[in-house]
Structure 1
Amino acid sequence: MKLRLKLVLLSGVPIVVALMLMSVTMQQQTLKLAHEEKALVQAAFMTSKEAELRHYVELARNTLVRIAEGPGALDERKRLALDTIKRMQFGNNGYFFVYDQHGQLMIDPQTLPLKGVAFCDPNDPQSADSAYRILATARRGGGVVRYSWHKPSSQEVVPKLGYVLTIPQWDWVIGTGIYLDDVQQALRAIETGAQANIEGTRQRIYLIAALCVVLIWTGGLVLNLKDHRVSSDKLRRLARRVVHSQEQERVRVARELHDGVVQVLASSKFLLETAQLQLADAAVPPASRSALAQGVDQLAGALAEIRRVSHGLRPALLDDLGLAPALELLARQMQQCGAFEVRFACRGLAAGLPPEHGTALFRIAQEALQNCCSHARARRVELVLRGTRRAVALSIEDDGCGFDMRRVSADGERGIGLRNMRERAESLGGDLHVASSSRGTRIDVRLPLPSAAAPAPARESFPLVIAHPLT
């Protein structure tokens, strides 16, 4: 068994088992709390309903007392009081009932605005018991009375909570009630909610267990990525050192060619030209004179070729004057090939570019122009160098035939130049993008600048453009 799998099992299995035990304990405790909550809610609900009923009945009684104590004939006041009570209702099923001093109903339920209302009539055998309890509670000073009665909206017999008081002026009993099936529904909703909470909590525990396993796996992945990042940084530093070593070697070879071979060839050419001048008036056969002139010409060509190779290895302008003049020289040299037109522009770049950035961009431009010359069959190439306080960018765009990016990337033997350009950019923390189609190819490279070495933008408000038209 692999070490990584062992670590996952040793850390994940105990967590899952512990969470399962927590789930069972949580379910038991939640059910217990739900029952206690149900009892508390029921008590609180009943208390609040009793207070609400008392408020309604006291409000109705005060209204009738004001009418009873008002002016007018007694019969008129009673009729006004009953009409007022008929119009008073609350909620969907709330209404008031009134009994006289003999226990007879004073209101006809058919005259109420609410349909389906039936009162507890003492003369009805089915409702006599409930009516007697209501009257008995009122004679004891009023209060709460419980009984079962028809609910108008559903016409079902459900438990009802009533409240009654007396009107001393007329010895009437007034009361109302609420149906307790709403309370039962609320309690059932609490129980259903508790079950839903248990199920939701169980699912969250399962999710937490899964997240713990994922976090463990992610931790291992992060460690692997960290190791990979460290390895990538080491490889990047190694690549930078390799590139630096290559550039140093190129500088050494270019210096050796310039200071050694070029000087020897130049001295030899000078000696041959001197000999050629000294033999100008001598009696030398024409064949020898022609051979000597041909040798001088070939030596001059070799000298020019070695100088070209030396400048290609490391142009002196790159070290002496900077990147922009070196790219201008490179454009001029490619222009002399006569294969395509080269336009170079520099925008917003001042002095102070780090040497490694200048070298990387020069080599990328050198490789790109060589690809244009060898493969693109382009007629025009544009180089644009841009600089800001934070980065320096170079774009190379041609109007050649382009190439298939996927095919070149998949082919291990092709695209070495593109990979070299990309590695040079990435070794300095930059990025390189290549877009190619049948209308041409565009290469964009951007290198971030260190804060201490970031060049300030140029003061010119217009771009500096150096063009080399075809001759």
Structure 2
Amino acid sequence: MRIRLIVLTAAITLLVLAALAVMVQRQTLKLAGQERELVKEIYAQSKEVELRHYVSLAQAALGRLAVEDGDVAAQQRQALSMLSQMQFGKDGYFFVYDRHGNMLLEPSQMGLQGVDFCEPDNPSGFLQASMIMTSARQGGGLVRYDWMKPSSQSNTQKMSFVTPLAHWGWVIGAGLYMDDIEAALNIIDNHARQNIEETRRNFYGIAAAAVLAIGLAGLAFNLRGQRVASGKLQRLAQRVVRSQEDERVRVARELHDGVVQVMVSSKFLLETAQASLPCALPDTGRRGASLLLDQGLQRLNDALAEIRRVSHGLRPALLDDLGLAAALALLVEQVRAHCTYRVDFVQQGQVRDLPTAHATALFRVAQEAFNNIQAHAHPTAVQVELCFGARTVCLRIIDDGLGFDLQRVQADARGGIGLRNMRERMESLQGRFEMQSGRDGTRLVVTLPLPVAAGAA
């Protein structure tokens, strides 16, 4: 459920960020288009103002010549010569037509390379010349058309301003090429694309950070839940172990205080009956009754021994009275009495009083280990070592038996219950469980940390 929630949250976050990215991209393109049109209009207006200014200057200069006394033809030649020298910018120049549409200022007069005028007699310039003359007859104004730019030798949109010169019946004008406007607009478009790309990268980064944050939050949530669940399982396992130990103590006490006492009383009664056999009975009858009583007493003794053994196995009294070391020594003696292999017990370090849970866990591990050795290992020797350290207590059980496949046993869900019980006992007390097995035998090492009070004792 947690994984589905995390995936759903991440998917919704990505969808929201993708929608925002698309919306921002569209808004950026819209604003860039509006800016483009605004810049284009401002540039066009600035070009128009510039052209009007140039034409006004030329018109004023020619007007002064026209009002002077003298030969009109000479004045016109002087005017054309002056206009041929009045250039502006890299590609700016003036052009002059008479009232009939004839061109009065030739390109050769200007000394510029690549300059070409809109000549009415030239098919390539007829349409443009017609547009210029039409605008002049209507009082002048702006004319837009495509024309060859001298510096680049390519057709470029051009804006010209023309006005009539009433004194001589001329039409004068000047033009500016609009490719610089396109260059400025291209810069705007490039900036818009860069902004969109940068915004997209930022959104990708935000999306990655959001997904990473969601993933980390989910991981932290899962880890926290796992820690809480693990803590609950550990506490539950500890309660189960305590319940088991309490039940074993209760059963051992009941056996010792109840069944054993009854059987001991029965034994005393049988012994009294054996001692009180009537001497008047024939020898044969007395011997037969005595034999039956002996057999009954022997079986009763065997039953008492078995019950005491079971009672000690459930909860050895030495574990509570003298501690873990004495209980392990007793366990080794009991195993040694019923096995065919050698069993040695070694104690190292200063003996410390252990908490009941620690001592019980180590004793149960030793019991389970001996059960496994007796059932499966068939060794010739077993070494039991109990080591007390400054902060830990360690139990080692080493045998030279047949060994087993540890990985296979651990992977088998239906087997290895004893190993899992030993491991869970150690983990519930924050201990360490280690086992190695092979052809040379099996080595079991369990280590428990000593509480501060126990370690300081």
Match of 1:224 in 2: 222
Provide the rounded CA distance (Å) in 2 between the counterparts of 1:345 and 1:389: 18
Pairing 1:3–2:5 present: yes
Provide the rounded CA distance (Å) in 2 between the counterparts of 1:271 and 1:20: 101
What residue identity is the alignment partner of 2:12? L
Q: CA deviation at 1:363?
A: 0.2
Q: Alignment partner of 1:454: what SS?
A: helix
Pairing 1:373–2:374 present: yes
What residue identity is the alignment partner of 2:8? K
Provide the rounded CA distance (Å) in 1 between the counterparts of 2:287 and 2:207: 100
Provide the rounded CA distance (Å) in 2 between the counterparts of 1:227 and 1:221: 10
Match of 2:115 in 1: none
Q: Alignment partner of 1:441: what SS?
A: strand
Provide the rounded CA distance (Å) in 2 between the counterparts of 1:422 and 1:238: 15
What residue identity is the alignment partner of 2:358? H
Cα 1:337–1:327 change in 2 (3 A) is same
Q: What are the Cα deviations for residues 11-56 of structure 1, in whole angstroms up to 9, with x where unaligned?
A: 444457778999999xxxxxxxxxxxxxxxxxxxxxxxxxxxxxxx
Greater Cα radius of gyration, structure 1 or 2: 2
Q: CA deviation at 1:453?
A: 2.8
Q: 1:349–1:385: 8 Å Cα contact kept in structure 2?
A: no
What residue identity is the alignment partner of 2:425? R
Q: CA deviation at 1:282?
A: 4.8
Match of 2:435 in 1: 434
Pairing 1:233–2:235 present: no
Q: Alignment partner of 1:351: what SS?
A: coil
Q: 2:401–2:441: 8 Å Cα contact kept in structure 1?
A: yes
Q: CA deviation at 1:389?
A: 3.1
Cα 1:373–1:19 change in 2 (3 A) is farther
Provide the rounded CA distance (Å) in 2 between the counterparts of 1:426 and 1:381: 25
Match of 1:47 in 2: none
* TM score, norm. by length of structure 2: 0.57
Q: 1:239–1:427: 8 Å Cα contact kept in structure 2?
A: yes
What residue identity is the alignment partner of 2:295? Q
Q: Which runs of 5+ in 1 are unaligned?
A: 26-197, 457-471
Match of 1:303 in 2: 304
Q: CA deviation at 1:450?
A: 2.3
Aligned length: 290
Q: What are the Cα deviations for residues 115-161 of structure 1, in whole angstroms up to 9, with x where unaligned?
A: xxxxxxxxxxxxxxxxxxxxxxxxxxxxxxxxxxxxxxxxxxxxxxx
Cα 1:371–1:262 change in 2 (3 A) is same
Comparing 220-229 and 243-252, the one that deviates more: 220-229
What residue identity is the alignment partner of 1:390? R
Q: What are the Cα deviations for residues 196-250 of structure 1, in whole angstroms up to 9, with x where unaligned?
A: xx99999798566434312311211221221122111111101100100000000
Q: 2:21–2:200: 8 Å Cα contact kept in structure 1?
A: no
Q: Alignment partner of 2:219: what SS?
A: helix
Provide the rounded CA distance (Å) in 2 between the counterparts of 1:338 and 1:6: 63
Q: 1:23–1:205: 8 Å Cα contact kept in structure 2?
A: no
Q: 1:401–1:439: 8 Å Cα contact kept in structure 2?
A: yes
The partner residue of 1:278 within 276, 290, 293 is 276
Q: 2:373–2:379: 8 Å Cα contact kept in structure 1?
A: yes
Q: 2:436–2:444: 8 Å Cα contact kept in structure 1?
A: yes
Q: CA deviation at 1:5?
A: 2.8
The partner residue of 1:210 within 208, 214, 219 is 208
Q: Alignment partner of 1:395: what SS?
A: strand
The partner residue of 1:251 within 249, 252, 256 is 249
Cα 1:261–1:419 change in 2 (3 A) is same
Structure 1 stretches of 4+ moved >6 Å: 16-25, 198-205
Pairing 1:405–2:403 present: no
Q: 2:352–2:388: 8 Å Cα contact kept in structure 1?
A: no
Q: Alignment partner of 2:390: what SS?
A: coil
Match of 2:291 in 1: 290
Pairing 1:382–2:380 present: no
Q: 1:317–1:325: 8 Å Cα contact kept in structure 2?
A: yes
User: Identity percentage over the alignment?
Assistant: 53
What residue identity is the alignment partner of 1:263? Q
What residue identity is the alignment partner of 1:324? A
Over the aligned positions, Cα root-mean-square deviation in angstroms equals: 3.3
What residue identity is the alignment partner of 1:403? F
Provide the rounded CA distance (Å) in 1 between the counterparts of 2:342 and 2:216: 54
What residue identity is the alignment partner of 1:276? Q
Cα 1:200–1:317 change in 2 (3 A) is farther
Provide the rounded CA distance (Å) in 2 between the counterparts of 1:297 and 1:255: 24
In the TM superposition, 1:454-465 aligns within 5 A as 454-455=455-456
Pairing 1:338–2:339 present: yes
